[in-house]
Structure formats: structure tokens, C-alpha cells
């Protein structure tokens, strides 16, 4: 399983990439694999304000429904419409075409896991 070194991670199996005050958020390959065939995604709405740790959407597969948790504080500025229209992108390419939403940060993220910490977390759950 891939854990890109340039990203931050959450205990809820989301990844975060921060560039110029904007965080791009998606679910990890580990989460996508655990979910199986993803058939529906409901990201937060553009313009909504997120508080880290709170529920902000959901991802649904044939197996289950999983909640999305905001990994950062800020305002949603973009949603990946391609992933909404074709949820299978989330499973097939979670770190590129399968990103979910972008957040203009109101403050720097503080509780993200390093790739090494995330790898240890997934090994404990695997």
C-alpha cells in the first residue's frame, strides 16, 4: 500500500496536502481498499466552514457508509466534481484524480500524522 511521503494523514484515514494556505483532502489508499467499490461520495459544500475533527461528508461503498471528518479548520473552496460524478476514481487513484475537496485554511493544521506514523497506524489495523 502506498503512503506518499509529501502528505499529512489523519487517524480517520484521510490525507492532506497543503500548498499556499489551501489544503487538498482525500481518503487514503488504505481507506479506499477497506471500503471496496466506492459508489457515492458526499463532500462538504463549497462555502461551508469546517472545524477539524467534525463530520463533513460521507463515502459510500457496496459494503458500508463511512463518514468524512474535517482534517483542518477553514472554508471549503472547491469540490472535486469528477470524483462526485465518478466515485470509482477515489478507489482507483486516491492521491491524484480521487481527491475530494479543498479548504482555505483559517490556521495551520496541527494534528496531522507523518507518513511513518500513518504507516504504523495502518499496520496495527491491518
Q: Note the pLDDT tens digit of each residue in 25-79.
A: 999 999 999 999 999 999 999 999 999 999 999 999 998 999 999 999 999 999 9
What is the DSSP secondary-structure string of 42-79? EPPPTT-EE-TTSEEEEEEESS-EEEEE--S-EEEEEE
The whole-model pTM stands at 0.95
In this predicted structure, what is the pLDDT of residue 124?
82
d(CA 83, CA 99): 7
pLDDT in tens, 70-123: 999 999 999 999 999 999 999 999 999 999 999 999 999 988 999 999 999 999
**CATH no. for 8-107:** 2.40.50.100
Q: Can you give the residue ranges of every domain in the chain? A: 8-107
Amino acid at each position: 500500500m502506498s503512503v506518499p511521503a509529501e502528505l499529512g494523514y489523519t487517524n480517520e484515514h484521510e490525507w492532506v496536502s497543503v500548498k499556499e494556505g489551501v489544503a487538498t483532502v482525500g481518503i487514503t489508499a488504505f481507506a479506499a481498499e477497506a471500503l471496496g467499490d466506492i459508489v457515492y461520495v458526499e463532500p462538504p459544500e463549497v462555502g461551508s466552514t469546517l472545524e477539524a475533527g467534525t463530520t463533513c461528508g460521507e463515502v459510500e461503498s457496496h459494503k458500508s457508509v463511512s463518514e468524512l471528518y474535517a482534517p483542518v479548520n477553514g472554508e471549503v473552496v472547491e469540490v472535486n466534481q469528477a470524483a462526485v460524478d465518478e466515485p470509482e476514481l477515489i478507489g482507483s487513484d486516491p492521491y491524484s484524480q480521487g481527491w475530494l475537496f479543498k479548504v482555505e485554511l483559517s490556521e495551520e493544521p496541527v494534528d496531522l500524522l507523518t507518513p511513518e506514523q500513518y504507516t504504523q497506524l495502518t499496520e496495527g489495523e491491518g
